[in-house]
Structures are given as structure tokens and as C-alpha cells.
Structure 1
Amino acid sequence: MGQLQDVGEADGWRCWLCDEPVDRTMPPNDPRAPSLDTRISKGRAKKKKQDKGSLPTERLAHKGCNTGKGANDPVVPWPDHLIVVDPAPLIAAAERLERKGGREAMARCPTRSDADAVAAWLVGRFSRLSPELQVHTEIANTGGQFLVSLHTS
């Protein structure tokens, strides 16, 4: 249980997939119970084969979220309350920013207030999704819509 405890503490006892709290006291077979997810995408799996010394990043997940994902690349959903057009896949954007830094266009929004809400949510979500990645947002008026981008610090 020591490894689960360490990963749980590092992730603030929040599921990295759904971003909801994980109750460490749940019975092991409950879908809300804590589990370790080995976060490896197809790109990371190729890199791991090349570099045998690197270990996969383990993250805390609900047993149900982890089981539902299976061996597939994870999909982290955007919340329904945000109004976005063309939302970027969060995991792919995080992996690109981790790998090369720079800027990622994340979504377009119809109003400035929608863009402000998206920007605030993205910074908070990325602080938990990729804690080692320092990001800030930029909002650009693109002729009737607002483009929200993430930049590495």
C-alpha cells in the first residue's frame, strides 16, 4: 500500500482521469476505490522501448476510471459547463507541451467571458494533469471568436 499512498499524496487524492476526489477508504473492488494507472500512451510506449532505464509515470485513478480506460490511450473530457468550439485533446496537448514546450491552441470560445472561464479551468486542470508542467494562458480575439492557448513557462 506504500506505493499507492505515495502516488495518492503526490496527486492530492484526485483521479487524474476524471479529476474527482478518490476516497482511499473504499473497498478494493468498488469502482471509486484508488488504483494506480501506468500512464503510457503509444508515443511513450515507443520511447520506453528505446530507453529501458525510464519508468512509466504512475498516476492515481479511480478503479472504475482505470478499468474503463483499459490499455487504451486515456481521454480526459472537457467539462460540460464550458462553452468551447473545437476543443483540443488534453492528453495529447499535455504530452506535446511536456516534450517540446511552446504553445498549444486549446479551444475557441464565442465570448470573452467563456474564454476567461476556459483559461482558468485549463490552468487548474493542467496543474493536476501534468504537475511538472508550468503553463499560462493567452486569449486572442480572432474576429468574432476568442482563441485560448496554453504556453509553457
Structure 2
Amino acid sequence: MSRLDEVGERDSWRCWLCDEPVDPDMSVNDPRGPSVDALSTAKKGAKGGQERLAHRACNTKKGAVKPVVPWAEHLFVVDPAPIIGVVEQLTRKGGRVAVARCPTEADATEAGTWLVDRISRLAPDLTVTTRIDSGGGGFLLSLTAP
């Protein structure tokens, strides 16, 4: 396991789950204090995976279940896809994934900009671009990865 300060520096002292700042000077026993979460993308029982910085409370709340990374509340999206699932799919296979529907093109653009920024911190090695298609009285937001 890596040292907490190494993981914190690499992740710019931001919680990978809630995307809020983590105070490196706060006690590791405090709910908002730093902790290391071993994110395993390997099959059950396999060793490996990536260590990520998280608040103690975020890490505890997640437990041993698949984490949920929420969409920002200010975004106007309908039927948003689970962010972790989209990241895993694009990492494995690349291609294009529809991630949300939006009522206006401006809403889709704002959601796409936010999502690309969020994924850049969640999965730094994954490069994604957005695509917005109109149809059915709304706009479909998709992510594309090589």
C-alpha cells in the first residue's frame, strides 16, 4: 500500500468519490480526514487495482460495494448513466457511450464539460470527448474514448 501523502499528492488532495478537497492536516480518524481507498477493477479475488484518495466518511460509506460517483446537482440531465460504469466500459473497450439526455443543447454542453472534467480526475489515464446529438425534442450526450 502506498503512503497517504504519495496518494494525496498524486490525486491533488481531492476525494475521488465526492470530488471535494481533502485536508492533508486533518486527523485520519475524522470523517473529513484523508484515507486511501483501494479501488480494484480486477476480478474478485485478484490482486492489484489502483489506490485513490478519499475522505474517511466517503470511503466508509462506500464500503466493499461498487462506488457511486454522483452527477452534479446543478446539471439538468435525464436518465444519467452511472459514471463508474461508463468509465469502466470506456476503459475496457473504448468506443461511444450515451450518458444522458438533456432538454436543451446548452444543458448538454454544460453537462458534457462537467463530466469530462470529472472523469479527468476520476480516471486520469482515460481521454474522453463529448458528442451531442439532437432528436426527439431533446439532446443526447455521449462520451467517446479511443
Note whether the superposition's TM-score is higher than 0.5.
yes
Identity of aligned residues (%): 58
Judged with a 3 Å threshold, the aligned counterparts in structure 2 of structure 1 residues 7 and 83 are, in CA distance, closer, same or farther, namely same
Runs of 4+ in structure 1 off by over 2 angstroms are: none
Partner residue, 2:37: 37
Partner residue, 2:116: 123
How far does the alpha carbon of each residue in 1:7-53 deviate from its partner, in whole angstroms, 9 at most, with x for none?
11111110000000000000121111110001125xx233x63xx5x
Q: Does 1:26 align with 2:26?
A: yes
1:76 to 40, 64, 69: 69
Runs of 5+ unmatched residues, structure 2: none
Whole-angstrom distance in 1 between the partners of 2:53 and 2:36:
5
After TM superposition, give the deviation of residue 143 of structure 1 in Å.
Answer: 2.5
Partner residue, 1:113: 106
Alpha carbons 2:2, 2:51 under 8 Å: kept: no
DSSP-derived class of the 1:117 partner = helix
TM-score normalized by the length of structure 1: 0.90
More helix by share: 1
The number of residue pairs the alignment matches comes to 146
Partner residue, 1:16: 16
After TM superposition, give the deviation of residue 2 of structure 1 in Å.
Answer: 6.4
